[in-house]
Amino acid sequence: MTILKGSLVLLRPAMKADIPALVPIRQTPEVYARWRGGDDMVAAIEEDFAEADSNPFVIEFNGRVVGWIQWAAEEEPDYRHASIDIYVDPAVHGQGVGTDAVRTLARHLIVDHGHHRLEIDPAADNEAAIRCYTKVGFRPVGIQRQSERGGDGVWHDSLLMDLLAAELVD
Protein backbone atom coordinates (compact mmCIF):
# COMPACT_ATOMS: atom_id res chain seq x y z
CA MET A 1 0.00 0.00 0.00
CA THR A 2 1.59 3.24 -1.17
CA ILE A 3 1.19 6.10 1.30
CA LEU A 4 2.58 9.47 0.26
CA LYS A 5 3.49 12.16 2.78
CA GLY A 6 3.54 15.80 1.80
CA SER A 7 4.36 18.82 3.89
CA LEU A 8 0.72 19.19 4.96
CA VAL A 9 -1.14 16.18 3.63
CA LEU A 10 -1.09 12.43 3.64
CA LEU A 11 -2.21 10.67 0.46
CA ARG A 12 -3.31 7.09 0.95
CA PRO A 13 -5.08 4.70 -1.38
CA ALA A 14 -8.82 5.36 -1.39
CA MET A 15 -11.02 2.62 0.03
CA LYS A 16 -14.77 2.07 -0.18
CA ALA A 17 -14.83 2.79 3.56
CA ASP A 18 -13.94 6.42 2.64
CA ILE A 19 -17.18 6.96 0.73
CA PRO A 20 -19.11 8.36 3.74
CA ALA A 21 -16.39 11.02 4.19
CA LEU A 22 -16.24 11.82 0.46
CA VAL A 23 -20.00 12.19 -0.14
CA PRO A 24 -20.45 15.49 1.76
CA ILE A 25 -17.34 16.92 0.08
CA ARG A 26 -18.64 16.03 -3.39
CA GLN A 27 -22.01 17.54 -2.47
CA THR A 28 -20.62 20.98 -1.61
CA PRO A 29 -21.64 23.46 -4.31
CA GLU A 30 -18.01 24.29 -5.15
CA VAL A 31 -17.02 20.67 -5.74
CA TYR A 32 -20.32 19.57 -7.27
CA ALA A 33 -20.00 22.30 -9.91
CA ARG A 34 -16.77 20.64 -11.15
CA TRP A 35 -17.35 16.98 -10.18
CA ARG A 36 -21.04 16.34 -10.70
CA GLY A 37 -22.51 13.02 -9.77
CA GLY A 38 -26.27 13.15 -10.11
CA ASP A 39 -28.71 12.46 -7.33
CA ASP A 40 -26.93 9.37 -5.99
CA MET A 41 -23.52 10.57 -4.86
CA VAL A 42 -22.59 7.22 -3.33
CA ALA A 43 -23.09 5.58 -6.75
CA ALA A 44 -21.06 8.37 -8.41
CA ILE A 45 -18.13 7.81 -6.08
CA GLU A 46 -18.39 4.04 -6.53
CA GLU A 47 -18.10 4.71 -10.30
CA ASP A 48 -14.88 6.65 -9.60
CA PHE A 49 -13.50 3.53 -7.89
CA ALA A 50 -14.52 1.42 -10.89
CA GLU A 51 -12.48 3.42 -13.43
CA ALA A 52 -10.00 0.82 -14.64
CA ASP A 53 -7.11 3.20 -15.36
CA SER A 54 -7.53 5.35 -12.25
CA ASN A 55 -5.23 5.24 -9.23
CA PRO A 56 -7.25 6.95 -6.48
CA PHE A 57 -5.99 8.37 -3.21
CA VAL A 58 -7.82 10.23 -0.48
CA ILE A 59 -6.26 13.40 0.86
CA GLU A 60 -5.93 13.54 4.64
CA PHE A 61 -5.25 16.81 6.44
CA ASN A 62 -5.02 17.04 10.21
CA GLY A 63 -6.15 13.42 10.47
CA ARG A 64 -9.34 13.65 8.42
CA VAL A 65 -10.32 12.99 4.81
CA VAL A 66 -10.59 16.32 2.96
CA GLY A 67 -10.48 15.26 -0.68
CA TRP A 68 -9.65 12.90 -3.51
CA ILE A 69 -6.75 12.85 -5.95
CA GLN A 70 -6.21 10.33 -8.71
CA TRP A 71 -3.83 9.68 -11.54
CA ALA A 72 -3.87 7.74 -14.76
CA ALA A 73 -1.08 6.92 -17.19
CA GLU A 74 -0.67 6.69 -20.93
CA GLU A 75 1.82 3.84 -21.20
CA GLU A 76 2.37 3.88 -24.98
CA PRO A 77 6.18 4.41 -25.01
CA ASP A 78 6.13 7.19 -27.62
CA TYR A 79 3.43 9.15 -25.75
CA ARG A 80 4.06 8.15 -22.12
CA HIS A 81 2.76 10.60 -19.52
CA ALA A 82 0.46 10.73 -16.51
CA SER A 83 -2.55 12.89 -15.70
CA ILE A 84 -3.96 14.08 -12.38
CA ASP A 85 -7.48 14.95 -11.16
CA ILE A 86 -8.33 16.35 -7.74
CA TYR A 87 -11.05 17.80 -5.55
CA VAL A 88 -10.65 19.29 -2.09
CA ASP A 89 -13.19 20.18 0.58
CA PRO A 90 -13.90 23.94 0.37
CA ALA A 91 -13.58 24.07 4.18
CA VAL A 92 -9.80 23.76 3.76
CA HIS A 93 -9.37 25.88 0.63
CA GLY A 94 -6.71 28.56 0.91
CA GLN A 95 -4.54 26.54 3.32
CA GLY A 96 -2.19 24.97 0.75
CA VAL A 97 -3.84 21.54 0.92
CA GLY A 98 -4.50 21.25 -2.83
CA THR A 99 -1.07 22.54 -3.77
CA ASP A 100 0.65 20.13 -1.39
CA ALA A 101 -1.46 17.19 -2.60
CA VAL A 102 -0.72 17.91 -6.27
CA ARG A 103 2.98 18.46 -5.57
CA THR A 104 3.20 15.25 -3.52
CA LEU A 105 1.52 13.15 -6.21
CA ALA A 106 3.53 14.82 -8.99
CA ARG A 107 6.78 14.01 -7.19
CA HIS A 108 5.65 10.38 -6.80
CA LEU A 109 4.79 10.10 -10.50
CA ILE A 110 8.15 11.58 -11.54
CA VAL A 111 10.44 9.90 -9.02
CA ASP A 112 8.76 6.55 -8.40
CA HIS A 113 7.05 5.95 -11.76
CA GLY A 114 9.58 7.66 -14.04
CA HIS A 115 7.16 10.00 -15.79
CA HIS A 116 8.86 12.90 -17.52
CA ARG A 117 5.62 14.77 -18.23
CA LEU A 118 2.33 15.29 -16.36
CA GLU A 119 -0.98 16.81 -17.44
CA ILE A 120 -3.87 18.41 -15.60
CA ASP A 121 -6.92 20.08 -17.16
CA PRO A 122 -8.94 22.38 -14.91
CA ALA A 123 -11.99 24.22 -16.15
CA ALA A 124 -10.75 27.32 -17.95
CA ASP A 125 -12.67 29.55 -15.52
CA ASN A 126 -11.38 27.80 -12.37
CA GLU A 127 -8.85 30.46 -11.43
CA ALA A 128 -8.12 29.03 -7.97
CA ALA A 129 -7.22 25.61 -9.40
CA ILE A 130 -5.06 27.18 -12.10
CA ARG A 131 -3.16 29.20 -9.45
CA CYS A 132 -2.70 26.04 -7.37
CA TYR A 133 -1.28 24.02 -10.27
CA THR A 134 0.95 26.89 -11.36
CA LYS A 135 2.55 26.92 -7.88
CA VAL A 136 3.59 23.29 -8.47
CA GLY A 137 5.13 24.17 -11.85
CA PHE A 138 2.34 23.35 -14.31
CA ARG A 139 2.19 25.66 -17.32
CA PRO A 140 -0.72 26.45 -19.62
CA VAL A 141 -0.59 24.62 -22.94
CA GLY A 142 -3.87 25.79 -24.43
CA ILE A 143 -7.63 25.81 -24.26
CA GLN A 144 -9.52 22.61 -24.94
CA ARG A 145 -12.69 24.05 -26.39
CA GLN A 146 -16.03 22.73 -25.17
CA SER A 147 -14.30 19.72 -23.62
CA GLU A 148 -16.66 19.03 -20.71
CA ARG A 149 -20.36 19.39 -20.09
CA GLY A 150 -21.21 21.40 -17.00
CA GLY A 151 -24.06 20.88 -14.56
CA ASP A 152 -25.95 23.46 -16.58
CA GLY A 153 -25.91 21.11 -19.60
CA VAL A 154 -23.66 23.48 -21.55
CA TRP A 155 -20.23 22.54 -22.91
CA HIS A 156 -17.37 24.41 -21.21
CA ASP A 157 -13.70 24.95 -22.02
CA SER A 158 -10.85 23.48 -20.01
CA LEU A 159 -7.24 24.59 -19.81
CA LEU A 160 -4.69 21.92 -20.63
CA MET A 161 -1.64 22.39 -18.41
CA ASP A 162 1.51 20.30 -18.30
CA LEU A 163 4.58 19.89 -16.16
CA LEU A 164 7.95 18.52 -17.22
CA ALA A 165 9.91 16.68 -14.52
CA ALA A 166 12.61 19.37 -14.35
CA GLU A 167 9.92 22.04 -13.75
CA LEU A 168 8.47 20.56 -10.55
CA VAL A 169 8.55 23.29 -7.89
CA ASP A 170 9.40 22.00 -4.42
DSSP 8-state class, residue 123: B
Residue by residue, pLDDT tens for the chain (170 residues) are: 799 999 999 999 999 999 999 999 999 999 998 887 778 999 999 999 888 788 999 999 999 999 999 999 999 999 999 999 999 999 999 999 999 999 999 999 999 999 999 999 999 999 999 999 999 999 999 999 999 988 788 999 999 999 999 999 98
In whole angstroms, how far apart are CA 80 and each of 72, 109, 113?
Answer: 11, 12, 11
Domain locations along the chain: 4-167
4-167 fold: Aminopeptidase (3.40.630)
Q: How far apart are CA 48 and CA 134, in angstroms?
A: 26
Give the residue from 101, 129, 87, 84 showing the smallest Cα distance to 8: 101
Q: Which residues contact 89 (CB under 8 A, 6 or more apart)?
A: 25, 28, 31, 66, 67
Q: Supply the pTM of this predicted model.
A: 0.95
- Cα dihedral sign for 133, 19, 64, 53? negative
